[in-house]
Amino acid sequence: MKRILVTGGCGFIGRHVAQELVEHGYEVRILDALLEQVHGAEAITLPAGAELMKGDVLDREIVVEALSNVDAVVHLAAEVGVGQSMYEIARYVGTNDLGTAIILEALIKRPVERVVVASSMSIYGEGLYETADGRRIDDARRKASDIKSGQWDLLSDGGDRLAPVPTDEEKRADLASIYALTKYAQERAVLIFGQAYGIDAVALRLFNVFGAGQALSNPYTGVLANFAARLANGQRPMIFEDGEQKRDFVHVRDVARAFRLALEQRQAQGHAINIGSGRSYTISEVARLLADAMGEPGLRPEILGKSRSGDIRNCFADISKAHELLGFEPEHRLEHSLDEFVAWVRNTVAIDRGADMKRELEERGLVS
């Protein structure tokens, strides 16, 4: 396996994956549409020797050309954002699902050794929970009436609070947003295709990815980038609900290494695998850590006390399967990586569009 096609390879994760592959001796070809929402006016810097083809995964001809003489595919190209997916539905379904279908059809005539697709923790909906007596609950959902009344935590049928626990891959999918639906369709399509055509296929379910290179001016990107854009412009981070919801934050360099391992480890074939840090952080805790790191301790988060359609309460990763099948261990903890992230933010133009995002959601009745 020598030459790898990375779709979306100029994006935040894609650039790090391309760099990881080049550093380990692979030839890399990148296919990227270079969308303004993702890249803005930033100059694209590629790893030495990487080949760039500008084009959309919805363009059958450019996809076929991009697959010429490659040995494997890392498929990252996708529209990303739970909130935006709830009103730009055709765009998300088109790029994520039809785009993936076009790649798979092209692979029938131009097969490769392995395809690794970026899936998402969003497919789980709510993460895994336990009752007070230790019973596993993998289909927990909040009631609209509870959310409306400000009851953010999930309750058992008896009214007791359910305890969030690390989510493993056995947890059933529960699709709470259009984005989650498209990512699940991408994942399953690739795995089904691989089995049918004898091509090794792996899906990596990414949790909240952070690090240098995030699109700070795109309000639908990761929460850490949103907070950084607000703080860089002297504004308090905005947090929906009460800020106590828990997430798993995994460094982009760890994610890039996971993609390389997924190409290399034969035993990963046919599996969907969580890629996270294995730790949980409340969103308000993350906002405070970042404000301190940016020298803005007075800019404490603005707790909105409102919910967004498609949001879930808690989800953080059990990464034991990644350890077993990939030999994956995260090396960059959030609290030890913020200085590097902040140094990058200070040298980047960060346009705060958080208020625009909130208004767009409210105008469509997606905030309550």
Side-chain half-sphere CA neighbours of 12 within 13 A: 24
Q: Tell me the catalytic residues.
A: 179
What's the CA gap between 315 and 124, in Å, rounded?
8
C-beta separation of 126 from 140 below 8 A: yes
Apex 53 CA angle, 49 and 59, nearest 5: 155
* CB burial string 106-145: b at 16+ within 10 A, e below: bbeeeebebbbbbbbbbbbbbbbbeeeeeeebbebebeee
Rounded Cα distance, 263 and 168, in Å: 22
Residue 150 CB burial class (10 angstroms; 0-12, 13-18, ≥19): exposed
**Rounded Cα gap, residues 268 and 203, in angstroms:** 9
